[in-house]
Structure formats: C-alpha cells, structure tokens
Structure 1
Amino acid sequence: MLILIFIIFGFTGVLSKLNILFLYDIEDGFNKSSEKNIIMKGYFKTGTSKQGGDIWAYADSAEDERYDYVLVCDFIKITRCDYGDFKGESFILKSFRPNLKFLDLNDVVYELRRMDGSTLVSSSEQIKIYKDNKRSILIYFILIVTPLLCFYLFFYLMLRGFKND
C-alpha cells in the first residue's frame, strides 16, 4: 500500500511539493543568492513529442559561456517560467541553486533587473510570492491530500476487514 502511495505521489508531483514545503528555506536561499549577468535564451523542452516532457525557461551567462541557468519563478508551477519570453535580452539575475532533488539543477529566481537598472522582478515581491506558494502547497496537503489518504486508508482497512470475516 505504501509503495502504491509513493508511486501515485511521484507521478502527480506531490513529492516535489513536499520537498519544497519542508526542505527549502526561502530566506536562507535569498541570503545565499548571488548576482549574475545573463542573456535570456527562451525555452527548451525535455522529452520527445511522444513522451511529452516539460518546458523550462533558460539563460546563458553573459560572462562565461560554460554556465547556463534553468529558471524557476514559481513553486506551484515549477516549469514554464514566464521569463523565457524575454529571449535575447540581457539581465542581472539574483538567484540561488538549492540542493534539493526536484530543484537540483534549477535556479530559484529572486530578482531580475534589466541592464539599464529597471527592475522586472524585485526580491521582496518574489519572496512574498514564494511564501504564498508554500502556504498554498500546505493548504493543498491539508484540504486535499490528507483527506484522500484517510479516505483510501479507511476503505483499505474496511475491505481488509471484510476479507477476514
């Protein structure tokens, strides 16, 4: 039964939400974040057309071609960060790459400024969004996942009780 629950959680993205909810500290990530000069490259897709896959926004370093950044701008919808729409533009990116399984090679964006100094996304605004996302994920678990697990467990135990009779 536990294996089935973990398989269901893995396919529905629940494990990544649990990882973000309990293991990622937003304030600490902001304190460890650093600024980088980047050129937005747009989007790339993982997988093939038959397999589906995810769409990620990415950027290359303006200073060193060896570095690239896969951007996360929302914890609820991790893929398809809207910053990929600014393809070809240069920015100053303040981000942090956490050491979490589901965000392993992705940069959590805290601030995005154009080269002229105008701010596209401020860090205080982005931190507020991340905190709101974490609260939404917690509410999702309290109102949806936990009752479903209790419902499933109740019927599993009830069916098991009928087999013993």
Structure 2
Amino acid sequence: MRQLAHTASVVGDNDRKAWQCTKGKLSAHWFMKELNTSRCSATLKAAYHRQSVGGDQGDSTSSTGAVAVLGDTCDPSPPYQAQGAAMAVEDGATLGILLGKFSRAHPNQKATGTQISDLFGFYEILRKKRTTVNVEGSIENQVLYHMEDGPGEDARDKAFANVN
C-alpha cells in the first residue's frame, strides 16, 4: 500500500498556540480564501497533524512505530538561527549511529518492528533537548531582530552599534 506524505507551509498569523491542533480542529477558511482550490481543501482535511513553525514542541513526536522523521519535519523552527539544515544533519547522524550500534550488537538478527520503534523512541529522547534549545533560540532571535519601534528597539540598536 502506498501512502502520500505531504508537508505544506502557509504563512498566516503569528499566533503559535492557535496553529497547533490535531485533525479537524483547525479551520482552513483563511487559507482557502487565498488559494481557493479543492485540491488544497482536500489536502488540509486529510492532514493528521498541523503545527506552527516554532510552536510549542512539548508533545511533538519524531517517530511512530517503525517510521521516523528528521529535520524541520519533526522540529520546525523559524529561520532566525539558520540551523534547519544543521539540525537535519544532526538528526540523521543520530539515527545512523543508533542503527549502526544496533546492527553491530545484533549482527545476525533482523530487527523487529518493536525494536526499531524502541530505537526511534530513544532517538527522540536524545534529540529533544537539543532541538528545543534551537527552537527557543530561534524564537528569541526573531524577537530581537524584529522588535517593534520604540525604546526597546533604540536600546538594541545602540548595543549593536557598540559591538566591535
């Protein structure tokens, strides 16, 4: 059986909390006004999970059973830290090391789905702290670099001007 995996990115409001929900709880009316196509509507209705870039990663997951995702697919973050590709490489390296260690520990054994699922769960545990730090840092940079006009912005600009 073939399944389609599709990721769609949409620029909308900046309310991260409003963006996080499971299937059926997020109205796509504003999206449909912009694109107004039945294909987009069908894609959104079929979505299992929607999450904002840089949203609360507290309950996000990188694996389900014997399937794992990496990079921005599991830990989307705003582009203000320029770490998206680096995080994907780190995720891939972590998965490679874990799978390699398993293969060396069990050279004549084919991994079961449960073993792979457990290994991917360990991958999530290993990566969670690092990816959370990256997402939070990116959000901090967004606030710093996109300050509204006012005293805070003036103080920031003066501090930047004094950096050698």
Q: Above 0.5 in TM-score?
A: no
More strand by share: 1
Q: TM-score, normalised by structure 2?
A: 0.30
TM-score (norm 1): 0.29
Q: Larger relative contact order (C-alpha < 8 A, sep ≥ 6)?
A: 2
